[in-house]
Every structure is written in structure tokens, then in C-alpha cells.
Structure 1
Amino acid sequence: MIEATRIVHHRHGVPVYDYRSDQVTPPVSLLRFDRHAERGHRPHIHNFPVLLYVRSAGVVYVIAAGQVIEAAPPHRFESAVGVFFDPAALGDAGRAPWPAWRAHPLLFPFLHEHSGGVLELALPVERRPLWDSTIAAIEAELAQRQEGYRQAASAHLTLLLIDLARLAADVVGDLRRSGEPLLAEVFDVIDQRHTAPLSLRDVADAVGMTPGHLTTVVRRRTGRTVQAWITERRMTEARRLLAETDLPVGEIARRVGIPDAGYFTRLFRRNNDLSPRQWRAQPASLAR
């Protein structure tokens, strides 16, 4: 991965990356690959959207967030460029790393469920100059870093995402019809209430559904349960507090809605392969 990303934990031995959200890291990052890049590919997961544009093949790969990417796309990486970005580049509706960004209409293509987490889209010849010039403009902004470069890079990114949404119109339409607005509401409830005791029934009551039906819908669309998403939100906040504050572990547990510090420690270890103190003691390059 690139410097703008960081490993935050492992899921069953597979590294999980987040995009850094700070004032130093640009909201968009580009990575140009050579033809041998695929040899170094390893399974990984990232909690943010990624595009891979292979100019020589006229193909755009939409790489889903949260899924294990088992293999590199089949085309060779010759003339390929990866576009990595913090969903927050699109404004408050695109917060990262928590998946509330799934509610943003321009990010719907990244919620696909294609095999291996990779959706391949053919890019018509007449649209390739737009992609070439827009990516070049982002690259120039990142290289020069003049006043307002973050806003300019985000504006160019938005143009790419608009064109991507049009390319993926069928995928986006299916997602709109299959319950994404409900998921956005579920994530919003969890986001607002994860600092206090929160159960599946609480979330179900808030969105006006039975717990059983809500479980079915969320599992079908995300592969995970509501309780797993509650835990993920709490772990995201716990990792942030461990990295950015000196608060005692017991206080961090309380702040993420888990009053029992012992249970919090066991849950954190189960989800991150390290205890809270071990995670905090990692070098900054790994823990932040």
C-alpha cells in the first residue's frame, strides 16, 4: 500500500488498511504501477474506496471496501494508475473510515458484490481523454501543493466519480433498489449511538423494523450482522483514542459504550489480534 494508508488491524490474518485522515495527507493519492506490480500482490482489505485505471486495456476496476481482495486484476499493470482516496474528500457525507460514506450516491459503485471484490468496467474510447486529463490534473495538484490544492484535487476526483457512476449505472440502480438507503440509516444510528449501550433491538426500533428482518437485510447486503457493525464502529473509535490520546484503557472502554474494561479488552484483542496496550505500544507507522 501507499504512505497515505495505514494498517489498523488484521481480520483472520489479512491486513486491513484505512486511509489517513489528517491535514498532512492529501485527500486523494495516486500510485502508478509498472508491469511487474502484480507479482507483489497479497490478499488485503481496505476500508476506503479504490479505483484502478488501466489505460492500455481501456478498463477501470472498482475495488470494493471491506472485502478481501484475493488477487490482482487479470490485466497486466502496464500504464495503470491507482486512485486512493478518503471518502471525506466528498464532504461530511463521506466520513471515513466508518462506513457512513456508503450513503453518498457517488460512492455506490464501490458497494458492489462482484467476485473477489473487483468490478471491471470497460471505458469507452471517447471517455478515456477525460480520465487521462483528470488524473493528470490530480497528479499536478499533488506535486505542486499550491494554495487550495486539497480542494482542487477533491474537485477533480469528483469529476471522475461522476463519470464512474454513469459507467456503473446498472450497478448503482440495483443498489438503490436493494436497500442501501436503509443501510445508510442503520449506519447513522450506530454512528450516533455507539458511545452508549446499543443492541440489535435498539437499532431495529430506530429504523422501524423487526430485529429478525433487519438482521436478514444487513447480512445479505454486507455479509455481516448489525452487532458486528456496532463492534466495528466501537473498535474504530477505540483505535483512534488509543493512537491520539493517553486516556486509560478503562476510560476508552467507557467512551465506546462498553462499561466493562475487561470485556472491552477481550473484544479488542479478538478484533485486532492485540490487546489495547499492545496496540498502543506499536510504532506510530503501524498504529496510526
Structure 2
Amino acid sequence: MPRPSRKPRHRILTLAALGARELPLHVSHIASRTLLSSYEPVVATFALFFLVTGGTGQGRHLEQVDARPGELHFIPAGVEIHALDVAELEGWLVAFDPTLLGSLEPEAPGSGAGSAAGLARSLGARWSFRLLLGEARRQRLELLIAALDTELRDQQFGFERAARALFTLLMTELQREARVHPAGPLPSPGRLVRDVLAFVATHSLKPISLADVAAAVGRTASYVATAVRDETGLTVGDWLREHRMAEARRRLLETTLSVESIASQVGYSDVTAFVRGFRRAHGLTPRVWRERHRQAGD
């Protein structure tokens, strides 16, 4: 009896791979034929939004989505993305580490129900949304994104402060638009997977295992592992690692703690394993990553 075919393994995409440097933030202007259509799944360790300015396209993350001019699509970190038909798309792509949202007010764009508050900042939240922008708002967003792109490329004195300010303005504009024209979230995972991700988010800095997660939701480890992989494109271990790395980045930037101390505080008993995992995710060791992000303008 033939064995069932395995779901293809996704490719992990990081901000460093996109070309992000000092700030965990990257902007790309997408011209027609810049993007390549592909059925190969990609999982980004960053959140992103795409402002469509021309052409049409089709992709899949939580569901199959059509993209048209004037729309803005937001996709959180950790979502499996398929670029099904995007060769004709034009627009602006803004990719960022979710920790950048920490300075914003605790309300995600498009949040209508109280349960949506703060979801955009959580790696554990599988939440996307799509906005159909008014013309005036679209023009303002394009100007802000173009200015942000210039700051990140030219890197003149104080560019980090300027880039953070522009990013805050961008997110504020999205919140304003969502209040006027709420589009609502796209489908999210079932209750079980949401409970699993919530448990992982709450306990990620502790030495937990898949068995601990399964016990917390009252299911077997194999059932939980399959459900999370099928609905999110990531394993429970992937989600756990991404939460730990997000907290590690925050502590590297905001404290003077040693790498060894940070490793133990984010759930790693072995600093070597932490350094190896951080380098695999970011292309740099924690020490070098910290030095590069503190070089300019802080």
C-alpha cells in the first residue's frame, strides 16, 4: 500500500535575507514582473504588509486571496505563504520584526472585537487582514512608505529615529483606515490550535516540551503536532523558537545582559544551542547582531 505523500517542507525567509541591516525593517518597491509566482510554501519570520498599486494577483496564506489595486494586505509572522500568481503585481512591501510594534498602542489595525486587541504584536496570533483603502489614504501611505524607503537606503544621520517615526505614522494611518472601513480578519485557525499557540506564547520562556503543550490542551502530542503543522505551516517547536528569538532580540537591544544570561532567560539551558539557533535564524551570532543594531544613531 503506497504511503501518503508528505506535505512539502516550507522555506524560512528572514529579514536579513531580504537585506535588512541596522533596523529590523525592510521596504521593497515591487514593479511588474519583480515577483515570481511559485507554489513552494514560504514562511516569514517577520510580519509584512503589501500595498497594491497596480496589476492583480493571487496568493494563499490563511485562505486563497485575490490582490487588486488599492488594497492593503497584512500577514503576521509565521504564516505559510504561497505566491500563486503574482507576476503582474505592483506595489510596496513593508516587512518588519513584530517587536517594532511594542511602542504602539495596544490595538491592532482592524480590531473590532476585544479579542483582536494586540494580536498584530503577537507571534502566537494567526491573524491577517485586508483593507480596501480610500484614495486619499492610499496616497498618504504611498508617500510615507516611499519616505521610509529613502531613509533606510540613504542612512543619513538619525535615520533610525526617522525610520521608526515613519513606521509609527504608517501603522497609525492603518488604524485610522481600519476604523473607517473595517474589513475584518481573514479566517484564523480552529479553537484547538489557537489554544495551543496561546499556551506556547505564555510559556515560551520556560523549558516546555510538546508533551507539556499537549497536556495543557487535553490532546495527544501527535494530534497537537499534526493540527498545528497543518493549520499554520509551522511545527510547535518552530513557534516556540520564534517566540524565544523575538524575546532574545528585544533583550539584546534593550539591555546590557550577556548573551549567556539572555540564553538562559529565554528558555535555553545550553548557550551553544541558543547561539546556533540565533545564527541560523538571523545569519549572525547574537553578539554581532547586537553590535550592528547599536552602531548607528542609538
**TM interval, short-chain normalised:** 0.5 to 0.7
SS of alignment partner, residue 53 of structure 1: strand
SS of alignment partner, residue 52 of structure 2: strand
Within-5 A mapping of 1:274-285: 274-284=284-294
Question: Are 2:74 and 1:74 equivalent residues in the alignment?
Answer: no
Q: Give the Cα–Cα distance (whole angstroms) in 1 for the partners of residues 264 and 95 of structure 2.
A: 34
Which of 115, 123, 126 is the equivalent residue of 1:99?
123
SS of alignment partner, residue 50 of structure 2: strand
Q: 1:183 to 1:97 in 2, by over 3 A?
A: same
SS of alignment partner, residue 51 of structure 2: strand
Q: Give the Cα–Cα distance (whole angstroms) in 1 for the partners of residues 15 and 47 of structure 2.
A: 19
Query: Structure 1 length normalisation: TM-score?
Result: 0.60
Q: 1:157 to 1:49 in 2, by over 3 A?
A: farther
Q: 1:160 to 1:217 in 2, by over 3 A?
A: farther
Which of 173, 191, 204 is the equivalent residue of 1:153?
173
Preserved contact between residue 258 and residue 264 of structure 1 (Cα < 8 Å)? yes
Preserved contact between residue 247 and residue 266 of structure 2 (Cα < 8 Å)? yes
Q: 1:280 to 1:204 in 2, by over 3 A?
A: same
Q: Give the Cα–Cα distance (whole angstroms) in 1 for the partners of residues 54 and 13 of structure 2.
A: 32
Q: Give the Cα–Cα distance (whole angstroms) in 2 for the partners of residues 151 and 226 of structure 1.
A: 29
Question: Are 2:267 and 1:268 equivalent residues in the alignment?
Answer: no
Within-5 A mapping of 1:33-112: 37-38=31-32, 45=44, 47-54=46-53, 58-59=68-69, 60=71, 62=73, 64-65=75-76, 66=78, 67=80, 73-75=86-88, 77=90, 80=91, 91=107, 93-96=117-120, 98-102=122-126, 107-109=127-129
CA shift, 1:274, in A, is: 2.2
Q: 1:248 to 1:238 in 2, by over 3 A?
A: same
CA shift, 1:71, in A, is: 8.8
Amino acid across the alignment from 1:254: S
Q: 1:101 to 1:208 in 2, by over 3 A?
A: same
Question: Are 2:235 and 1:215 equivalent residues in the alignment?
Answer: no
Share of identical aligned residues, percent?
27
**Which string of whole-angstrom CA distances, capped at 9 and with x for unpartnered residues, describes residues 243-285 of structure 1?**
2221011110111011222222222223333222222222448
CA shift, 1:233, in A, is: 0.8
Question: Are 2:241 and 1:247 equivalent residues in the alignment?
Answer: no
Preserved contact between residue 33 and residue 88 of structure 2 (Cα < 8 Å)? no
Q: 1:10 to 1:16 in 2, by over 3 A?
A: farther
Structure 2: gaps spanning 5 or more residues? 1-11, 37-41, 57-67, 109-116, 148-164
CA shift, 1:205, in A, is: 1.4
Q: Give the Cα–Cα distance (whole angstroms) in 2 for the partners of residues 138 and 13 of structure 1.
A: 24
Q: Give the Cα–Cα distance (whole angstroms) in 1 for the partners of residues 217 and 281 of structure 2.
A: 27
Q: Which has the higher helix share?
A: 1
CA shift, 1:96, in A, is: 4.9
CA shift, 1:51, in A, is: 3.3
Query: Number of matched residues?
Result: 233
Deviates more, 1:199-208 or 1:130-139: 130-139
SS of alignment partner, residue 52 of structure 1: strand
Preserved contact between residue 218 and residue 224 of structure 1 (Cα < 8 Å)? yes
SS of alignment partner, residue 277 of structure 2: helix
Amino acid across the alignment from 1:135: R
Q: 1:94 to 1:182 in 2, by over 3 A?
A: farther
Amino acid across the alignment from 2:205: T
Question: Are 2:235 and 1:235 equivalent residues in the alignment?
Answer: no
Amino acid across the alignment from 1:156: R
Amino acid across the alignment from 2:176: H
SS of alignment partner, residue 18 of structure 2: strand
Preserved contact between residue 205 and residue 267 of structure 2 (Cα < 8 Å)? yes
RMSD between superposed Cα atoms in Å: 4.6
